[in-house]
Each structure stands twice: as C-alpha cells, then as structure tokens.
C-alpha cells in the first residue's frame, strides 16, 4: 500500500517529481505517482483526492506550474498533509506557481518547498511519516548523516588539492 501520493498536472513536471520519488525510494517509502490535470479533468482529480485517504495515503506531494491549483485543491479535499512543489515556468520563472501555492486561505494549509524542490518534498514527506515510524526515522537520520559526510569529503578534497585544482575537475 502506498503511503505517499505523488501527483502532477503534466508530464513536463515528471523530472522534478521524480526527484521526490528518488528520495522516497532511497528511504524505503512506498508511493503512487499519477498525472492529473485539476483544470482539464476536474472529475478525475476530485475522485483522486477524495479516495486518497481510503487508498492509505498519509501525505500527498502535488506539483504544479502557473496557476498551480493542484496542491491547494488536494489540501481542500484530503484531510492529511499536502506538500506543494511549485514548478519553474518560462513566463514568470516559477514565481507564479510559488505564489499560487503559498497563498492558501486560512484553514487549507499546503506545505510548500522551493521552486522545483522535488527532493525536499520527498524528504519532507518522509520526515512527516517518520514521526510515527521508528525504522523510517532511523533511515532519515542516516540520510542526513550521509549528506554531512559528503560535505566533509568535499571540504577535505578542497583542502588537499586547493581551489584551482578542485574547480578544474
């Protein structure tokens, strides 16, 4: 059973949404990924959001660009956390998406990550789930430790070979 629903309005969002899926894969969190347009197929969207709790979803990650109604509409229907990913757009650079997702009315919260912030959305979903799953919490802590080690290794290399050699690689 999938714990996280990953939904996007277009297949053009797939590269960013895949980053959320990659993190969930690495942390061993099950998910279901779907493309649904809230504007072009509102009946399909409504059924998705209405049935998400019944399917076992504990969190929905919703990515959208431009008017970006998908995350907010999920939050209006789905009673558990929704994480919005604003997509970069060519016309306004994603600010339109960002403003659309963060400017939710009182009572309909959507946690929002950075523009194109798929990886952070996946990590946030895992952290939410980890509040009631000790094994997942350990994997999240191990993931954070891995990130720390990567930075330490990069610094050690910089100290060893110097700035110019590091940048030439």
pLDDT digits over 81-135, tens only?
A: 999 999 999 989 999 999 999 999 999 999 999 999 999 999 999 999 999 999 9
Q: Tell me what percent of the chain is helix, strand and coil, each rounded to the nearest 5.
A: 55, 15, 30
Q: Checking DSSP bridges between strand 4-8 and strand 31-35, what pairing results, if any?
A: parallel
CA angle 139, 134, 54 (to 5 degrees): 100
| pLDDT of amino acid 53 | 98
Is the pLDDT assigned to residue 67 strictly greater than 90?
no
Q: How far apart are CA 65 and CA 115, in angstroms?
A: 9
Is the pLDDT assigned to residue 161 strictly greater than 90?
yes
| Same-domain check for residues 57 and 125 | yes
pLDDT in tens, 126-159: 999 999 999 999 999 999 999 999 999 999 999 9
Q: How confident is the model at residue 14 (pLDDT cuts 50, 70, 90)?
A: very high
| Same-domain check for residues 105 and 149 | no
Q: Assign 68 to helix, strand or coil.
A: coil
| Same-domain check for residues 80 and 153 | no
| Same-domain check for residues 125 and 139 | no
| pLDDT of amino acid 91 | 87
| Same-domain check for residues 169 and 88 | no
| Same-domain check for residues 75 and 158 | no
Mean of pLDDT values over 30-56: 96
Q: What percent of the chain stands above pLDDT 70? A: 100
The boundaries of the domain holding residue 67 are 4-132
Number of domains in the chain: 2
| pLDDT of amino acid 100 | 93
Mean of per-residue pLDDT scores for the chain: 97
| Same-domain check for residues 125 and 159 | no
CB-based burial label for 46 (10 Å; 0-12, 13-18, 19+): middle
């Amino acid at each position: 059973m999938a714990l996280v629903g990953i939904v996007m309005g277009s297949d053009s969002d797939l590269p960013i949404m895949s980053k959320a899926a990659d993190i969930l894969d690495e942390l061993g969190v099950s998910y279901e990924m779907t493309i649904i347009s809230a504007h072009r197929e509102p009946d399909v969207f409504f059924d998705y959001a209405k049935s998400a709790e019944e399917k076992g979803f504990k969190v929905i990650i919703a990515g959208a660009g431009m008017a970006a109604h998908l995350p907010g509409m999920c939050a209006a229907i789905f009673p558990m956390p929704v994480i919005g990913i604003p997509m970069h757009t060519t016309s306004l650079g994603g600010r339109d998406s960002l403003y659309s997702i963060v400017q939710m009315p009182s009572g309909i919260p959507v946690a929002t990550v950075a523009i194109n912030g798929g990886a952070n959305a996946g990590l946030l979903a895992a952290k939410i789930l980890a509040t009631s799953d000790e094994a997942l919490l350990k994997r999240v802590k191990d993931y954070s430790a891995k990130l720390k080690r990567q930075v330490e290794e990069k610094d050690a290399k910089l100290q060893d070979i110097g700035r110019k050699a590091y940048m030439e690689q």
